[in-house]
Structure 1
């Protein structure tokens, strides 16, 4: 689903003066290659992309944000459920009983075919 983008070092390069002076040529180059690195003193300062690629990138970012929010909502729900258990009136008593047991079980653990 993610748009495959070339490494910035692999993009066709044009210096800023060429971009300014030959805009029509730049537009053709971007349409042909999908993106062009714009340099200033041999350092890439920005990348020009066509509108379709830009739209795909923004849609993918929105989808990732939605998935991230869904995961955060699920974690929040699970945290709140666990916190509610800890805030029950008998939680302190149960914790004290667990610590007092010092690892000794009251019942023998079950093991067998069902496990």
Structure 2
């Protein structure tokens, strides 16, 4: 995420009554600090932030979602390729032979070209 956001505990705070009665001051504070936590009975209930910060958050969230979808699409393609290999003629027999071998190899493994 390219927007640098502070933790909720680090934000400047204004109680809801102050926000209601002195909106202009709160707007200036948001523009100066980037965001303000609005409290009600000492509990943060919401955060006010600039439109630019909100837009950046939306763009960042969409970028993350696009990356996730790209990864899921790639995994889907790999799954389909493996499933296709298992559906080829003779694949069931090969899998059966593999399980029947119980981990034993039919011949000794080679340890490289000079073995």
TM-score, reference length from structure 1? 0.92
Measured against aligned partners, the alpha-carbon deviations of 1:21-72 in whole angstroms (never above 9, x if no partner) come to: 1110010000010000000111000000011111111111111011000000
Shift of 1:18: 0.7
String of CA shifts for 1:89-112, please: whole Å, max 9, x gaps. 211110111122222222321213
In structure 1, distance between residues paired with 2:50 and 2:113: 62
Return the offset for 1:87. Answer: 1.5
What is the alpha-carbon distance in structure 2 between the residues aligned to residue 8 and residue 103 of structure 1? 55
TM-score, normalised via structure 2 length: 0.92
The size of the alignment, in residue pairs, is 114
Unaligned runs of 5+ in 1: none
Q: Does 1:2 align with 2:8?
A: no
- Equivalent residue number for residue 101 of structure 1: 101
- 1:75 matched to 2:75? The reply is yes
Shift of 1:113: 6.3
Structure 2 gap ranges (5+): none
Match of 2:15?
15
